């Protein structure tokens, strides 16, 4: 059975201080004359030369707690992944799962220098995080954003990362498909995912997926594999999502998502049955109804009973059919606080349109 695998590498280690491994010395390679390169080779070489110095190696130290014989043991772990330099002041984007729960984050640049990184902000819903290092501007080579909305299946793409710790490795492929979905570890769905056959392996997570201009059109995040190694199905978060998230993380350190005030629903084959509303939240103020609470007396004991037969059934938002809570929240979170959405509901057998004004976080 195929499965989605997040592609950071994690090792159990001793409690020794965290030190990044220096880049492996390589013999000099003579540059091929331009006349000897095919057009495809010339593009690939150009992409690598333009972007490889902006790809970093990320090493993390964390502690996992194991249970054995009723006792808890703290087990040091080291992880490794990739990232992309965003600007000359040291911001680096990577996957959230690469740096999740890390007690120490170390970033190694293309020149081999290592720098301790501090977390700027993270968005687990989109598996993205931004860290920052203090490094001289002349050591930082930002990778420019590209436009993932212009991608089409069949277009050539290039991935650079650190698979299995092999620094700044280039793989090439095509856009195999668009608009795939990926469920993250916190059970939210990322939509619009890019599928590529460029080889992506453990350690590639957080590295850039590039177009022929050397611009970042995605961030590699997962593979679909039976073995845990590349099987020609890699997944990347599109730049249309990543850029918006990253800019907000840098600006305020968190993602501010609008709220519709629907705390929980029951997913049915007919729609989303309201189970609980946020007290005095946008949905409740708009008139949506959840289960009716009743109390019944059984001797000296008072029992609370919730009658769901009177709860509203949500079937669409702004004319878009919703089948899961994630469908609803993903649409709402693409809006801004203060904007209105129209929920189409079924109440006592009748369809109604209810406008809801979204609020910001408390």
Q: Length of the chain, please?
A: 362
pLDDT reported for residue 327: 83
Distances from the Cα of 290 to the Cαs of 4, 11, 50, 275, 329, in angstroms?
36, 47, 56, 6, 18
Give catalytic residue positions: 97, 127, 205
pLDDT reported for residue 295: 73
CB 216 within 8 A of CB 159: no
pTM above 0.85, yes or no: no
CB 9 within 8 A of CB 81: yes
For the chain, the first-to-last Cα distance in angstroms comes to 43
* Domain annotation for the chain: domains and CATH numbers: 148-252 (2.40.10.10), 262-357 (2.30.42.10)
In tens digits, the chain (362 residues) has pLDDT values of 444 555 555 444 333 344 444 444 444 444 556 678 899 999 999 999 999 999 999 999 876 555 554 554 445 677 889 999 999 999 999 999 999 989 999 999 999 999 999 999 999 888 999 999 999 999 999 999 999 989 999 999 999 999 887 888 999 999 999 988 887 766 667 778 999 999 888 889 899 999 999 999 999 998 765 555 556 688 999 998 899 899 999 999 988 888 899 988 888 999 999 988 988 999 999 999 998 877 777 777 777 677 788 899 999 999 999 988 878 887 888 888 899 999 999 998 999 999 999 987 65
pLDDT reported for residue 250: 96
């Amino acid at each position: 059975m195929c499965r989605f695998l997040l592609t950071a590498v994690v090792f159990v280690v001793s409690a020794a201080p965290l030190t990044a491994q220096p880049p492996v010395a390589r013999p000099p390679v003579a540059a091929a004359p331009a006349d000897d390169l095919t057009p495809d080779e010339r593009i690939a070489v150009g992409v690598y030369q333009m972007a490889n110095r902006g790809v970093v190696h990320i090493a993390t130290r964390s502690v996992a707690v194991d249970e054995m014989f009723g006792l808890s043991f703290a087990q040091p772990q080291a992880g490794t992944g990739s990232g992309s330099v965003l600007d000359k002041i040291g911001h680096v984007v990577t996957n959230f799962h690469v740096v999740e729960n890390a007690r120490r984050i170390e970033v190694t640049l293309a020149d081999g220098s290592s720098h301790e990184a501090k977390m700027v902000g993270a968005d687990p819903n989109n598996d993205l995080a931004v860290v920052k290092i203090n490094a001289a501007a002349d050591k930082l080579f930002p990778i420019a954003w590209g436009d993932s909305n212009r991608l089409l299946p069949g277009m050539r793409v290039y991935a650079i990362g650190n698979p299995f710790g092999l620094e700044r490795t280039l793989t090439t492929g095509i856009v195999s498909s668009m608009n795939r979905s990926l469920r993250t570890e916190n059970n939210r769905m990322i939509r619009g995912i890019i599928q590529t056959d460029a080889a992506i392996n453990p350690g590639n997570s957080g590295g850039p997926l590039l177009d022929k201009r050397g611009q970042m059109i995605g961030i590699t995040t997962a593979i679909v594999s039976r073995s845990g190694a590349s099987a020609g199905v890699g997944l990347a978060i599109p730049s249309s999502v990543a850029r918006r998230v990253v800019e907000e993380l840098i600006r305020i350190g968190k993602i501010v998502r609008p709220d519709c005030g629907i705390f929980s629903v029951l997913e049915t084959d007919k729609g989303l049955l309201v189970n609980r509303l946020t007290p005095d939240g946008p949905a409740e103020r708009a008139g949506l109804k959840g289960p009716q609470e009743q109390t019944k007396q059984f001797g000296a004991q008072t029992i609370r009973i919730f009658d769901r037969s009177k709860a509203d059934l949500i079937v669409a938002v702004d004319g878009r059919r919703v089948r899961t809570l994630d469908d609803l929240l993903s649409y709402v979170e693409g809006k801004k606080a203060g904007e209105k959405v129209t929920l189409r509901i079924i109440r006592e057998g009748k369809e109604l349109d209810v406008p809801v004004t979204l609020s910001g976080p408390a």
